[in-house]
Structure 1
């Protein structure tokens, strides 16, 4: 009887920089080294949000997306600094140049993390583990920063693996180990499962991958909707998503959370002018024109609304963006309400043939007016 051909697997690496913004600050400014450093909004006034924190601050419970005021309570001696996005982007580009020595199949998720498919690597190294080690060493030698890496046969497992031994870690999860690894994984560690969904799962007695695995596909979809199909597959180690070096830009925008509430139309107009300038610069960078303008308004009670207007032709100039945003603002009730955040987004780009850009130019989560 003829033997079945051996199954071939992808070789996927997920690289995640360690406390990226904070590490760049500590590298560039020696006075921050060894100190509890928080990068993000300052705690004065209403306070902002933590973008990232050094490991010295994380020991006190400071985490990304936490209000800066809460971070200050947890770590009163922390040093707070505003982000320097231009510096982070420059470093990010150098990191991606290191990646490109090994593969062209690079899918950045943000400035500080990316998937790499090294099933066939440029240097014919053959071992994904060796490639990951070389990349980590190059980042350390050339940029004086550390990264953690996860290596596996698919994106889901590689991403989770990169978080196992942070900082400066490398974790390999081979094909024979994947199901056991995922079965033991707490549901709130699953990439793609947010806090609300994790809480819902726990209330249903689903605490680990092994618990999820007891549900049939029909049952898991019934409980969690379309995402249930994804959960059904990943608890069995199935993730066929390819590394995508190209993605489509669907919108470009900027927003700002203010230290103090805006209470007059004049104040709001002035802030919309600033935000419109940022959006204009980003549209010009990618040579895009948007036919739909959307304004986002968040009030001091955290209620949030959006208003949109579409046009036959696309626009990218400041007057078009700011003027439309102000008219949309005027359609809302701002006289008796206090505004804590404003944002402008352009979408529905025109002409459609220039909507695609390389993933190395992806806008990251914090690439916004602050």
Structure 2
């Protein structure tokens, strides 16, 4: 007989070690990506900010008082989420100030879109998309004002993008303002609670470009111009061949442009790698999204925590986590069309490629090191 207590105990320990081995490997990976756990805390904070803002926006007393064609919770949650991603200060007071500015910058972008889109409707779908070109320019140009400037430019573009996707009109201005207030509350409260446990990594957020030359526009101006021209080409392509998800291409083009052509090449390569990994994993989870949406939302929250941890150094991991999040949350919200989801993937790659071409051929910038 080999069923002695000693052999049973050994088998139990082996089984426990087999179960804990992947957990230990994941823990070691987390320590390499985020040695001090600071970004994990930020990841938890941005997920919490989204949850608080989205929940407040769906409260019946608030939602009923805001006549709007869009979900107030969705708008407020998105404002709060991306404000939390862009914010990068070390103290509660500075972070709260920046979060407020960032939330209202997103509202400004949405308001600009609804006010400008109506006269551009006569140009068809390409008309409102032209407004996104202005946001693409600001994403690059406002980086000249540091981390906060970069965040404000990004938030203005995100506000325009949300307004475009939700088909907001001039009648939704009141809802946009209320969403900004809710988003401010939803994003500031978690930051006040996280306190000094966060140490934002801002050194690598802005790619180093060449120094400013006297009498010549700043490198950030050319970055904005590169993103805007790439976005404009996508708008023209959409008008000519009717792209399925042109805004995904515009967004990819906007965010891959870095402070130098070399930096843009690296960002494009990492975005492609991340997208090619994250999208198939997300598509594989579609059956789960249909039958267990709560599990999928939990997986999306974990992916956003990984996204916050990976930025800015591991852009490939961040893009993969974000691509996975987008696919599974769309599926959990009822979008199960494989052709549409695939179109969003390949048009993201198209946008990245156009952003790379713009950075290489339209006023190309050299890195600071090479310009010396």
TM-score (norm 1): 0.24
Give the structure with the larger helix fraction: 2
